[in-house]
């Protein structure tokens, strides 16, 4: 059998302005722009094996364990429409990732980004096209394709409204590098819990968008304004503004999540200890002059983004509280 192999790797990313909601469920076009920072101590490596066939994914294994074939076949079926070449082959996907269980990072961003990059090598795609494919797998994966430290994922343009063709809209929204190197910054990822969340991000954001009564819409508008301010602040390395917006965007995300219960049942991802740690971090900012921010994804674990020179102060606080953590220095 004539088998060809394409290998690629990708890393997770941490959003400073969050992605939360889609204007298109199929292609994952976001309602709002987002901006993230690379986290390169965790990784996914993927080997894509292809041989003549009819567009079928024959096997997928992650760290040697078979994974959800149906989900990945669905992904291939979606991208077939854009790249008909895919129909001529069958696929075996072998993925490896080094995520410790409960590290607080979802492996779907690096997972789909690594797979999209391997597909990109096979199909000879540009980085932009690869980032669009990754997005069709999982929204935040588009931000794990570009090589830069700081990546933006714009929601598209206002004129998108006039485009009737969803494919064209799709091509306007993908991860792209804003800043290649953003040195002197550390990310501390803490681990409070490794429990699987009751409601996935995908489900959670659908609940927020489908129940919009005006609050979600106002959230999108405010965040879009802050996204533009944040972009400029990053380019000027105005850390005070960067960290101020990071905290606000994290808390707005959780405010929005709490605003839309699921048929009456509260949706909430934070623990008491999540907020206590955020408060302790702010104390370090006030009393010790640390410059930084906390943020949360759709989970309870706080992430701290700060100047590397202030790292020790935060680590000593975490040690005293017996909180486990990982550090990535940009």
Q: Give the interface with ligand 2P0 as residue ranges (CB under 6 A).
A: 15, 18-20, 28, 34, 106, 108, 138-140, 201-202, 297-298
Q: Is the dihedral of CA 77, 82, 88, 91 positive or negative?
A: negative
DSSP three-state, residue 32 = coil
Please, what is the minimum distance in Å from the beta carbon of residue 188 to ligand 2P0?
Answer: 17
Please, what is the minimum distance in Å from the beta carbon of residue 322 to ligand 2P0?
Answer: 26
Of the chain, the end-to-end C-alpha distance in Å amounts to 44
Q: Is the dihedral of CA 232, 235, 237, 243 positive or negative?
A: positive
**Closer residue to ligand 2P0, CB minimum distance, 8 or 106:** 106
Tokens of 146: 């570009």
Angle at 95 between CA 94 and CA 99, to 5 degrees: 160
Please, what is the minimum distance in Å from the beta carbon of residue 37 to ligand 2P0?
Answer: 11
Please, what is the minimum distance in Å from the beta carbon of residue 43 to ligand 2P0?
Answer: 17
**Closer residue to ligand 2P0, CB minimum distance, 138 or 274:** 138
Distance (Å, whole) CA 204 – CA 21: 9
Please, what is the minimum distance in Å from the beta carbon of residue 60 to ligand 2P0?
Answer: 17
**Closer residue to ligand 2P0, CB minimum distance, 133 or 298:** 298
Q: Which residue is nearest to ligand 2P0 (CB)?
A: 139
Instruction: Identify the residue whose tokens are 């101020």.
Output: 244
**Closer residue to ligand 2P0, CB minimum distance, 45 or 202:** 202
Pairing of strands 89-97, 57-62: parallel
**Closer residue to ligand 2P0, CB minimum distance, 108 or 190:** 108
Tokens of 256: 């929005």
């Amino acid at each position: 059998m004539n088998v060809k192999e394409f290998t690629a790797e990708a890393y997770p990313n941490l959003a400073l302005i969050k992605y939360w909601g889609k204007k298109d469920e199929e292609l994952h076009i976001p309602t709002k722009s987002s901006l993230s920072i690379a986290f390169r101590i965790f990784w996914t490596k993927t080997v894509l094996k292809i041989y003549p066939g009819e567009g079928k994914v024959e096997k997928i294994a992650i760290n040697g364990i078979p994974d959800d074939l149906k989900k990945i076949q669905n992904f291939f079926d979606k991208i077939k429409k854009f790249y008909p070449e895919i129909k001529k082959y069958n696929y075996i996907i072998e993925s490896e990732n080094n995520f410790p269980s409960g590290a607080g990072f979802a492996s779907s961003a690096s997972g789909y980004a690594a797979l999209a990059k391997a597909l990109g090598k096979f199909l000879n795609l540009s980085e932009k096209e690869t980032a669009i494919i990754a997005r069709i797998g999982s929204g935040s994966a588009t931000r794990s394709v570009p090589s830069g430290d700081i990546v933006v994922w714009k929601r598209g343009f206002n004129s998108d409204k006039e485009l009737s063709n969803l494919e064209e809209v799709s091509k306007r929204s993908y991860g792209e590098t804003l800043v290649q190197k953003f040195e002197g910054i550390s990310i501390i990822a803490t681990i409070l819990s490794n429990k699987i969340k009751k409601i996935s991000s995908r489900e959670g954001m659908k609940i927020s968008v489908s129940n919009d009564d005006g609050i979600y819409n106002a959230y999108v508008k405010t965040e879009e304004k802050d996204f533009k301010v944040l972009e400029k602040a990053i380019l000027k390395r105005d850390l005070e503004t960067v960290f101020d917006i990071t905290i606000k965007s994290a808390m707005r995300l959780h405010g929005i999540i709490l605003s839309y219960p699921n048929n009456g049942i509260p949706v909430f991802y934070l623990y008491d200890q999540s907020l206590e740690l955020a408060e302790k971090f702010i104390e370090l900012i006030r009393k010790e002059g640390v410059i930084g921010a906390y943020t949360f994804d759709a989970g309870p674990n706080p992430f701290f983004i700060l100047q590397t020179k202030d790292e020790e102060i935060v680590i000593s606080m975490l040690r005293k509280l017996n909180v486990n953590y990982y550090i990535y220095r940009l």
